[in-house]
Homo-oligomer: A and B are copies of this chain.
Amino acid sequence: MDDIPVRPARIQDVAAAAGVSVSTVSNVLNRPERVNERTAARVRDAVAALDYVPHPGAAGLRTGHSSSIGLVLPDITNTFYSRIARGAADAAYDHGYSLVLCHSADAPEREQGYFTMLVEQRAVGAVVVPLSADPTRLSRLRERGIPLVLADRAMSAEDGCSVSVDDIAGGRIAVQHLLERGARDILVVNGERAIRQCADRYQGARQAVRSRREARVEQVVAKEMTVAYGLEIARRLDDLPDGVFCTNDFLAAGLCHGLAERGVRIPDEVQVVGYGDLDIASFVGTPLSTVHQPVEDLGRAAVEMLLDEVEARAEHAHEARVFAPGLVVRDSTRPASGG
């Protein structure tokens, strides 16, 4: 029983073994209804006997259809992106496509290099989280007519499909939650205004506050959305608010830590809501209430929209699909007080 790699069986070998022609074998495999059940059975036996594995690459050469999808991400080790990858991988697997991982590593020339690679492979399409909003960087793909759907980035629906999470809604539910739990003096600890997500989350926060008499909101902007800056901000706070919405969980973790240092009790004195539902959210001293984003769904939907475009070219309508975030309540906001 040596393992000398044998040249794999081809469709011809199967045909010979089954005593039929290659097209019959092809039909058995692809349009079984066209072939007599008896012969089909013979063919299947031959397939099994020879351990025949079809070669979709060769088929694609003939049909013009490839079966690989590109997934272009800035950084696969970032939880947000790896969750997109998981969703995309699941969807691709379910539909029988293979996913080519393109890790652009925040390097524009590498992103372009991957686009070229996808063009070479005649990928059926690509799900991409582009490095910047500049749409011309996508032209490499566009010019070749390779369908793409953008993830976590806006795109006008005429230009193609996109998937994203509704950050305005996210900000709104976070602050609504604080208000429901009795907070009235809300502080938003945000990242830079220029970041779309940050601006949106703050806008949502304001919407929530407007709907409530006697509630007020203020904003403080951190230079970076890190634990360190969250800590810093907590240390410098003059008057304590009774509710804080941090627009990401790192800021929130740092802030909680800083408040704890000052002897401030969470949630009794200050309630805190984070954003993102990262692992870290459940690890901080007081487990963090936070906004959960259905990121896997983004990845899955992106692939499915792509395949719809590919398989139904004509009827396909571009769509900018927006997913709703949800609230995860943990210890950092206190049990409903009816306030």
Does A76 make an interface contact (CB < 8 A)? Answer: yes
Query: CB < 8 Å: which of B51, B121, B227, B279 contacts A57?
Result: B121
Closest Cβ–Cβ distance, residue A263 to chain B (whole Å): 14
Query: CB < 8 Å: which of B99, B113, B120, B253 contacts A283?
Result: B253
Does A116 make an interface contact (CB < 8 A)? Answer: yes
Residues of B contacting A143 in the complex (Cβ-Cβ under 8 angstroms): 3, 51
B110 & A93 in contact (Cβ 8 Å cutoff): yes
Does A34 make an interface contact (CB < 8 A)? Answer: no
Does A58 make an interface contact (CB < 8 A)? Answer: yes
Closest Cβ–Cβ distance, residue A301 to chain B (whole Å): 17
Copy total for this chain: 2
Residues of B contacting A253 in the complex (Cβ-Cβ under 8 angstroms): 283
A55 & B5 in contact (Cβ 8 Å cutoff): no
Residues of B contacting A312 in the complex (Cβ-Cβ under 8 angstroms): none
Q: Mark A71-95, 1 if CB is under 8 A from B, else 0.
A: 1000111010011011001100100
Query: CB < 8 Å: which of B53, B86, B89, B116 contacts A119?
Result: B53
Does A19 make an interface contact (CB < 8 A)? Answer: no
A117 & B100 in contact (Cβ 8 Å cutoff): no
Closest Cβ–Cβ distance, residue A159 to chain B (whole Å): 10
A76 & B85 in contact (Cβ 8 Å cutoff): yes
Chain A residues with a Cβ under 8 A of chain B: 3, 5-6, 8, 51, 53-58, 60-61, 66, 68, 71, 75-77, 79, 82-83, 85-86, 89-90, 93, 98-103, 105, 110, 113-114, 116-117, 119-122, 142-145, 227, 250, 253, 257, 260, 279-280, 282-285
Seed contacts A77-B82, A100-B101, A257-B285; 4 additional CB < 8 Å A-B pairs:
A3-B142, A71-B101, A76-B76, A280-B283
Between A and B, 11 residue pairs with Cβ closer than 8 Å are A3-B145, A56-B120, A57-B57, A57-B66, A57-B121, A68-B100, A89-B101, A90-B105, A250-B283, A257-B285, A279-B279
